[in-house]
Structure 1
Amino acid sequence: MNNMEYLLRNVDELWNKYTKHEFVVRMRNGSLPLDVFRYYLIQDAKYVEDMLKSLLSALSKGPIDKVMRILNVIITTRDKGLETNSKLYTRLNISREEIVKTGYNLVNYAYTRHLYYYANMGWNEFLVAVTPCMFGYSIIGEYVLETPHEIYKLWASFYASDEYKKRVEAILSALNEIEINDNLIKIFINSVRFEIGFWDSSLRKDPTVY
C-alpha cells in the first residue's frame, strides 16, 4: 500500500463528499448555474496563486530531486492551464482586475492560510496539506469531463489532461517518500474538509471577508 492509499483509508467517507460534492455532480450533469461557477472561478484563482506561493516556500525545505521534478513539471505544463483559464475567463467576462479586487471568502482565506502555515512548518507537512487538492482534482476532472455543458467540459479538460496528471504524479511520488504519522494524517483530513468547505461556500456564494 502506498502513502496515498493509506491516507485515503484514514479519510474515509469525507473523500467521497469532496470528490462527489453537489457542486461537482451539478457540473457533471450540467445543472450548475453559471453565476455560481463564475464565483467559484474567481475564488479558485485566488486560491491557486496562494497555493503556488506556499509551494515555492515549501520547496526550499524538500529533497532536491523531488523539488526539481515538481518545479520542472509545473513549468512544462503551465501553458495548458493558462490556456484553459484564459478561455474560461473570456467566456465568463472575468478580468484580472476583478480577481485582484475581489476579496477571499472565509473558507478560502482559512484554507490558504492553512497552506502557508504548513509550508513554513516543513516539506512533509505541506505535501500532505496540498495533496487533496492536487490528486482530488484529477479525479474530479475525469468525472466532470463527461458533462454535456461546454463550459464545464472545458474546465474539466485541464484537470483530466496528461499535463495535469504529470503534476499529480510528481506530487504523489514525493508523498510516497515520506513517513506518514498521526499528525500528517490530521493535516490531510483537514485539507479534505477545506476542499468540501470550498465547494459549499461556492454554492452559497458566500460574502467575501478579506
Structure 2
Amino acid sequence: MKFTTEAWEQITPIYNDILVMPFITELQNGKLPIEKFQYYMMQDAKYLEHFGRVLAAIGSKLEDNQQAIDFFDFGKNALIVERALHEYYFELFGLEKNLKIEIEPICHHYTHFLKSTFAFDSIEVAVASILPCFWIYKKVGDEILKNQTENNNPYNKWIETYSGEEFADGVTKAINYVDIIAEKTTTTVRTQMLEAFTKASELEFLFWNAAYNTITWKR
C-alpha cells in the first residue's frame, strides 16, 4: 500500500470532522461571521509565512534536484498566495496591509510543530508533516465548491483558490513526492512519517476551530 493511501485512511475521521465543523459549513454557505473569517485570515497570514519557509528549507535538504526545485516553488507559491489572497481580504475588511498581527496559540503550535519537525526529525518525516496542509485544503476546497449553493458567497475568492487547477497541480506533486520518499525509507521512519502526518491533520482541524471560537492567549 502506498504511504499516502495508508495516511489518508488514518486521518479520514479527522477529515470528516473538518467537513462538518461550523467554520467550514458556514464558509460554504456564506454565513460565516465576518469576524471569524478575519481572525482566520490574520492567523493564516502568519502561518503561511512560516509554512513557506519550511517548504524552502525542506527543498534545500532534498537530494533530488527536481524535488528540490518544486519544494522551492511550493514555498514561493505559499508566500505569493498569502500575499494575494490576504491583500484581497484585508482590503475588503478595511484592514491595514502592514497590520501587526499577534500569532495566537494554535497557529503558534502548528508553525512550531512544522519547524521543530524539520529541525530535529528526518527529512522524510518533515516532508510528511507538510502534506496535510496541501491535501486537506484541496479536498475541502473541492468539497465546498461541489456543495456550494450561494453564488454571492463573500468567501468565493478563498474557495476558488483552493479548488483551482493550479493548486491541484502542486498537491498532486507533493503527494507523489511523499510516496517516492516513503518507499525508500525504513519501516520505523515510515511510522514516524505517519505520526507526523496525523498530528498535522489534527492541527488543521484545530486551526479552523480556533478561528471559529476565537481562541487567544489567556491573560
TM-score normalized by the length of structure 2:
0.85
2:38 counterpart letter in structure 1: R
Moved over 6 A (4+): none
TM-superposition CA deviations, 1:68-107 (whole Å, max 9, x none): 1333466579766643332222111233322xx2211111
**Residue 126 (structure 2) pairs with residue 126 (structure 1):** yes
1:64 is matched with 65
| Pairs within 5 Å for 1:180-195 | 181-195=190-204
Structure 1 Cα separation of the partners of residues 135 and 27 of structure 2 = 18
How far residue 24 of structure 1 moved from its aligned partner, in angstroms, is: 0.8
| Pairs within 5 Å for 1:42-81 | 42-62=42-62, 63-72=64-73, 75=76
| Pairs within 5 Å for 1:49-198 | 49-62=49-62, 63-72=64-73, 75=76, 82-98=83-99, 101-120=100-119, 121-145=121-145, 146=148, 148=150, 149-179=152-182, 181-198=190-207
TM-superposition CA deviations, 1:30-59 (whole Å, max 9, x none): 221011001100000000001111112221
2:115 counterpart letter in structure 1: Y
1:84 counterpart letter in structure 2: L
TM-superposition CA deviations, 1:103-148 (whole Å, max 9, x none): 1111110100000011223321122111111111111112233252
Structure 1 Cα separation of the partners of residues 6 and 160 of structure 2 = 28
Please provide the CA RMSD for this pair: 2.2
For structure 2, the 5+ residue unaligned runs are: 183-188
Structure 1 Cα separation of the partners of residues 77 and 196 of structure 2 = 29
**Residue 205 (structure 2) pairs with residue 206 (structure 1):** no
3-state DSSP of counterpart to 2:124: helix
Size of the alignment, in residue pairs?
207
Tell me if the contact between 2:48 and 2:78 (Cα under 8 Å) persists in the aligned partners. no
TM-score normalized by the length of structure 1:
0.88
Structure 1 residues 155 and 118: CA distance shift in structure 2, 3 A: same
